[in-house]
């Protein structure tokens, strides 16, 4: 485990998730406050904001800004959360895979980290943002799903789901075609961009063009403070931070797929019977490919 991973185990779980999501985007003074919080997580509830700022080497305003970026209304709420956590036995371990783990340990950790990612994402998702995303999708004339690499596989799955029910859905595997699609979008169209890091340059270009055309951008990402997030209208945040020796984890795509699946089912429930009828015809038609 890294130093941060060891330290966040002594923080309230939601705060630990948000810390990992925003840490690399913090300004210098905010990062000093964050480092102090990480190093003194077990005693922060006993400090006044003046004491915290003095010992962290930052201003009180910086402490307030950090508190808000971690999901609190201010420093007093952060203190109360840490105090309550300190009086409980709750500790979340991320089950990171190590190079000396036995085969069955690896299997167990893969399953457990995926399950933890789903639970954390469910708790992290903002209900208002999710509802706004669904509303825009239902009202959309066309939907462009975009992503690259393994995020592209999620975008492809989403495209096929919506195409199957008769939605005017767009998707391409190469960045150039994605850009071409983006240039043809209108204000009543929607882009669903998928990027775990929120830093994909090609997807950023697609989103920028789509925004210039007036389309709504929905972003599925693990990092709500990222270049892509700044260009997006609605952010659906995942919460996956486990690691393994490859540096890549499937659970980050499992959470994105579950968000897509839930939006798809809700779309069917809210968009009227015409789509359900089209789905029935599609299912009956492709059944000829089954043995």
| pLDDT confidence bin for 113, thresholds 50/70/90 | confident
Residue 179, burial from CB neighbour count under 10 angstroms (0-12, 13-18, 19+): middle
Domain ranges in the chain are 3-86, 118-289
Q: What is the pLDDT of residue 91?
A: 46
Across 54-68, average pLDDT: 97
Q: What span, in angstroms and rounded, lies between the C-alpha atoms of 260 and 149?
A: 17
Checking if the pLDDT of 1 tops 80, the result is no
Q: What span, in angstroms and rounded, lies between the C-alpha atoms of 108 and 164?
A: 35
In 3D space, the residue among 199, 184, 188 whose CA is nearest the CA of residue 147 turns out to be 199
Q: What is the CATH number of domain 118-289?
A: 3.40.50.10490
- CB-CB contact of 131 with 178 (8 Å): no
CA distances from 159 to 49, 143, 146, 239, 255 (A): 49, 8, 9, 23, 17
Is CATH 3.20.20.110 the right assignment for the domain spanning 3-86?
A: no
| pLDDT confidence bin for 2, thresholds 50/70/90 | very low
Across 31-58, average pLDDT: 94
- CB-CB contact of 5 with 94 (8 Å): yes
How much is the mean pLDDT over the chain?
Answer: 89
Percent of the chain residues topping a pLDDT of 70:
91
Q: What is the pLDDT of residue 42?
A: 86
In 3D space, the residue among 21, 28, 24 whose CA is nearest the CA of residue 70 turns out to be 21
Strands (E), the chain: 143-146, 169-171, 190-194, 216-221, 234-237
Fold equal for 3-86 and 118-289: no
Residue with tokens 């630990």: 16
């Amino acid at each position: 485990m890294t130093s941060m991973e060891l330290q966040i185990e002594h923080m309230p779980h939601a705060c630990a998730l948000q810390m990992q999501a925003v840490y690399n985007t913090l300004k210098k003074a905010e990062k000093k406050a964050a480092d102090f919080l990480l190093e003194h997580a077990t005693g922060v509830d006993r400090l006044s904001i003046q004491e915290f700022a003095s010992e962290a080497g930052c201003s009180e305003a910086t402490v307030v800004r950090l508190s808000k970026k971690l999901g609190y209304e201010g420093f007093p709420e952060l203190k109360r959360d840490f105090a309550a956590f300190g009086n409980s036995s709750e500790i979340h371990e991320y089950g990171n895979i190590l190079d000396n783990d036995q085969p069955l340990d690896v299997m167990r950790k893969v399953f457990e980290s995926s399950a933890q990612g789903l639970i954390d994402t469910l708790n992290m998702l903002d209900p208002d943002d999710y509802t706004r995303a669904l509303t825009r999708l239902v009202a959309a004339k066309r939907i462009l799903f975009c992503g690259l690499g393994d995020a592209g596989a999620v975008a492809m799955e989403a495209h096929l789901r919506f195409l199957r029910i008769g939605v005017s859905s767009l998707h391409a595997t190469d960045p150039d075609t994605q850009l071409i699609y983006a240039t043809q979008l209108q204000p009543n169209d929607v882009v669903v961009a998928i990027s775990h890091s929120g830093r994909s340059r090609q997807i950023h270009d697609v989103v920028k063009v789509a925004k210039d055309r007036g389309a709504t951008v929905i972003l599925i990402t693990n990092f709500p403070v990222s270049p892509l997030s700044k260009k997006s209208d609605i952010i659906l945040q995942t919460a996956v931070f486990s690691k393994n020796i490859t540096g890549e984890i499937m659970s980050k795509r499992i959470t994105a797929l579950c968000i897509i699946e839930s939006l798809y089912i809700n779309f069917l429930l809210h968009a009227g019977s015409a789509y359900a009828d089209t789905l029935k015809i599609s299912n009956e038609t492709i059944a000829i490919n089954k043995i």
